[in-house]
Amino acid sequence: MSIVLYRVDERLIHGQVVIGWAHELRPDRYVVVDQELATSDWEQDLYRVGAAPTDVLFADVEEARSRLPEWQTAPERTILLTRDIETMWALSRGGLLEGEAINLGGIHPGPDRVEVLTFLHLSSNDRDRLLEMEAAGVVLSARELPDAAKIPLTSILRDAP
């Protein structure tokens, strides 16, 4: 499999991803699935600067769903990022991510979100989407960096307020 990491992280390409995860996983490219960024050339340029010299592709959900099989079998080692759980859920619909492991990274405080870990805040909709993905065979866990212990979804939701 050439997608070496599926990650939900509001900041997308930033220090933890470029230094922490990329150092460990050695990606050849990043794929950012985000409706707004897919059409914003100047914002894409900002993210590319942060990821240089690694290639960065931007796609909306529809394009990502159609290209996912290609990315999963391509020789390039790829880190696939979404800004939010809703986007990863949309990407996973129809079993496209069945059997895949998704890392929940930084999701910060926001409207209707509750802190479940210091770096992970979830709304009730987020929880519902995570449970739907898990029921569809997606393996979900949280960890900020590769050397941290994985926290399985069942532990996250069980201990949540």
Query: Residue 64 corresponds to which tokens in the numbers above?
Result: 């990502």
For residues 95 and 86, the answer to whether their CB atoms sit within 8 Å is no
> Do 30 and 55 meet the contact criterion of CB atoms below 8 Å apart?
yes
- Name the residue type at position 36: E
Residue 58: its pLDDT value, please? 97
Give how many domains the chain has, as a whole number: 1
**Range of 93's domain?**
3-159
Summary mean pLDDT of the chain:
92
Report the predicted TM-score, pTM, of the whole model to 2 decimal places.
0.94
Residue corresponding to tokens 């220090």: 15
Convert the pLDDT of each residue in 8-66 to its tens digit: 999 998 888 888 888 899 999 999 999 999 999 999 999 998 888 899 999 999 999 99
Is a pLDDT exceeding 60 seen at residue 161? no
3-state secondary structure of 5: strand
| CATH number reported for the structural domain that contains residue 75 in this entry | 3.40.35.10
Residue 1 has pLDDT above 80, yes or no: no
Q: Is the pLDDT of residue 71 over 60?
A: yes
Q: What is the pLDDT of residues 127-149, one digit of tens each?
A: 999 999 999 999 999 999 999 99
